[in-house]
Amino acid sequence: MQLIYAAASPFARKVRVLAAETGLLASIEMIDTTVLPTTLNERVNLANPLGKIPVLLLDDGESLYDSRVICEYLDTLHQGPKLLPGDGERWPLLRLAALADGLMEAALLARYEKAVREPQQQSQAWLEGQLGKVRRALAELERQSAQLHGLLDLAQIGVACALGYLDFRFAEIDWRAAHPALRDFQQTFAQRDSMLATAPS
């Protein structure tokens, strides 16, 4: 298998952390790339018509996207404890993972607004709208932080990658001050080898 990824992508980081945590890293060749909504990337477009990464290229020529699907697929390939349980815990966990993904998506749209659009095209209302989603997601993650303890699961990985993305692209947002439970969670989680090895730079 091959994973098309970018070091800056929190979505790809989720997959890379999951692969490391489940012992699958050795079976995945990592292919580093760069993507922007305004630039064609033929290799990515061929594998994913949406032109987004991560994309997992399977040995039979098929590809899998997006990060949620790839994570769920990889979770079927290892023998260890599953990161996406099949029982009653599944739905709250998936909702928490979706909240973390949504935080990343809103932050990414704000990032693109600032980094990709010309200054005269940028919309303050758009930026404020996306950052409002980030703020509300943080508040809800803080409220649900008790769910982040226990055996490793996909929600923990997603939340850690979302918070890491804020630190990477939005260092000016001091999310730790108002979210002490998330701060404590991240302080511990970010020390895992899988997180240290995938920290964006």
Residue 66 binds ligand 99T (CB under 6 A): yes
Residue 126: CB atoms within 10 A of its CB come to: 14
What amino acid occupies position 62?
A: E
Choices 6-14, 73-81, 118-126, 143-151 (CB under 6 A): range interacting with ligand 99T = 6-14
Which parts of 22-89 fold into alpha helices (H)? 42-47, 67-75
Of the residues 4, 19, 108, 161, which one makes contact with ligand 99T according to CB under 6 A: 108
Residues 140-199 that bind ligand 99T (CB under 6 A): 169
Q: Is 16:8 a contact under the CB 8 Å cutoff?
A: no
Options 51, 85, 102, 129; binder of ligand 99T; rule CB under 6 A: 51
Tokens standing for residue 116? 């990709």
Q: How far is the CB of 124 from ligand 99T (least distance, A)?
A: 20
User: One-letter amino acid identity for 17?
Assistant: V
Q: With CA atoms as reference, report the closest residue to 172 among 111, 118, 126.
A: 111
Of residues 111-140, those binding ligand 99T (CB under 6 A): 111
Q: Residues in the site for ligand 99T, rule: CB under 6 A?
A: 6, 8-9, 11, 35, 37, 51-54, 66-68, 101, 108, 111, 169
